[in-house]
Amino acid sequence: MLTVLDALPDGLLACEATELHRVLDGPTLIHLPGRRPEPLFVSVLLHGNEDTGWQAVRALLHEYQGRELPRALSVFVGNVAAARHGRRRLDGQPDYNRVWSGSGLQEQGMMRQVIDDMARRQVFASIDIHNNTGHNPHYACINRLENTFMQLATLFSRTVVYFTKPDGVQSKAFAGLCPAVTVECGQPAQPHGVEHAREFLHAGLNLAALTGHPLPQGDIDLFHTVAIVKVPEVLDISFGGRSDCDISFPDDIDRLNFSELPANTLLGWLGSERKSWLEAWDEQGNEVGDQYFSYANNEISLRTAVMPSMLTCDSRIVRQDCLCYLMERMVLNQTAVDRPV
């Protein structure tokens, strides 16, 4: 399933994400040489409807046409088939950002090939580029609280989210090889998101090293994901206050993202007498919904203060992934010191 190339195919940079299938047979890893041999790894289109990463790579490589890259660059173009249709993933496909660990699926074997290849090449750093379906600021995510990881993340944004679940994500797999970060660039088709990602890639290519020096507290707003919120499959959902669904959410619920919400904040309405409501799964795999949500007078409210991220108004995304993540603010540990890379 994986194609590995040592040069850009003719016509590739002229393709929009929906057109990549005309040039690429499927998931493709492209290695490009640079002045420093340890490559920057960049993954794009792990979700086929999130095209900012591909647009940023196109812009970056157009900028360097006819010039040597300051550092070797390896680009993994992920779900080409889903990108053709502007979908996160096709029916019957696994999520390409949940198959970077484990075995049994062809896609898991493919991602293992990518990891092994990049390990042999002594990858310098890893950047995975994504979009959101709802309103969110641009922010970075890390899986290790190490200074090199935070240094790389804050080159993109001072807003940084630390998470350990879900498993199988690209950044977590690469964290064993190098500083790794996921960057969330807002919604697709926003020029400022493409430009922000391009600037970050440019900075990554021009980094001589990540020093591992501690960050001042004032340079980072650090949050910790404490739970993933899901809606049970048996429940019908809608957005906009419909009364004929089991749960209805406000049609602008995504505007609550990255807001520190107090207890008793209204999240939605109940339209039936079912007892299986929102699920919240913590980092240990425990269902802890009762810690975060209360139900009274046909309303869903927060039981405790918390900050949501990635709230979406797209019911397909709710079904394929989740409703949102819940976060708490963290204080930076100034005593952590990393080995520089």
Q: Which domains does the chain have, with CATH numbers?
A: 3-210 (3.40.630.10), 225-328 (no CATH)
Q: Helix (H, G, I), strand (E, B), or coil: what is residue 203?
A: helix
Question: Judging by beta carbons within 10 Å of its beta carbon (0-12, 13-18, 19+), is residue 195 exposed, middle or buried?
Answer: middle
Angle at 104 between CA 101 and CA 106, to 5 degrees: 85
Element (H, E) at 112: helix 106-120
Mean pLDDT by 10 residues, the chain (341 residues): 96 98 98 98 98 98 96 98 97 97 96 98 98 93 97 97 94 98 96 98 97 87 96 91 84 95 95 79 95 93 96 93 95 58 64
Cα 63 to Cα 60, 77, 196, 202: the distances in Å are: 5, 19, 15, 10
**pLDDT at residue 340 in the model:** 59
**pLDDT at residue 335 in the model:** 43
Identity of residue 178: C
Strand partners, 266: 301
Cα 151 to Cα 148, 188, 217: the distances in Å are: 5, 26, 12
**pLDDT at residue 275 in the model:** 61
Phi-psi region of 255 (alpha: psi -120 to 50; beta: other; left: phi over 0): alpha
DSSP code, position 132: -
Strand order of the sheet with strand 247-249?
A: 237-239, 247-249, 266-270, 299-302, 293-296
- Give the E-state strand segments of the chain in sequence order: 3-5, 28-32, 34-44, 69-77, 125-130, 139-142, 159-162, 180-184, 221-230, 237-239, 247-249, 266-270, 279-281, 293-296, 299-302, 307-309, 324-329
pTM for the full predicted model: 0.92
**pLDDT at residue 244 in the model:** 80
**pLDDT at residue 337 in the model:** 45
